[in-house]
Amino acid sequence: MSTKATWAIDPAHSEIGFKVKHMMFTNVSGNFTQFDAAVETESDSFDNAKFSFKGVTDSITTGNKDRDAHLLSPDFFDAATFPEITFTSTGFSKINEGEFELTGDLTLHGITKPVQLNTEFGGLAKDPWGNTKAGLSITGKINRKDWGLNWNSALETGGVLVGEEIKLNFELQFIKQ
C-alpha cells in the first residue's frame, strides 16, 4: 500500500532517552516523560518521511530528584526560560534495508543546530485493534556544549563531573492516522 499518511506517536509504547558520562567512567541514564511526535509519509516504506518532535523540558527524569532539579536549573536546561525541546527533520534517506539517516534541526536551550541520527525502521504491523503501527529506533550523539549546556565541575583526580557527549536513544512506535 503506497499512500500519503500521517502517523501520531504512541507515547505508551515510546521512550525518549539519553545517557551521559558521570565522573568520566559511568553512564547516567534519563528520559523525557512528556512529548509528542508525528511523521508524514508518502508511502508505507517511510522513504522521504518528515518527522517533527516536541518534548517538555521539565518532564526530564533520571531517577534522582536532586539531579533532576539541577538539570532543570539555569546551570543546564533552564526549563523556566526554555520549556520545550523541538526537532524538525530536513531529510530521511535510506542507507540499507531498514536503515536510514535522519537529519534535522534540534532546538534546545534556545539554540537550533543541525543533527544527524541513525534510524532503524522496524517495519509495520497491525495491533489487535486493527491499527497500523510503525516502529523506529533512533540513536545519535550530540555535544551538550553546542547548545549552551556548559556547566561542569572539575574532579580532584582530573577530568570533569559531567561528560560533554550525550548519547540519544529513542524507541518510537507510531500509529497510522
pLDDT values of the chain reduced to their tens digit, one per residue, 177 residues:
458 999 999 999 999 998 876 656 677 889 999 999 999 998 887 888 999 999 999 999 999 898 899 889 888 889 999 999 999 999 999 999 989 999 999 999 999 999 999 999 999 999 999 999 999 999 999 988 888 877 665 656 665 456 677 899 999 999 999
**Contacts with 52 (C-beta within 8 Å, 6 or more apart), sequence order:** 37, 38, 39, 86, 87, 88, 89
CA dist 51 and 40 (Å) reads: 7
Q: Residue 152, class by beta-carbon neighbours within 10 Å (0-12 exposed, 13-18 middle, 19+ buried)?
A: middle
CA dist 169 and 167 (Å) reads: 7
What single DSSP character describes residue 24? T
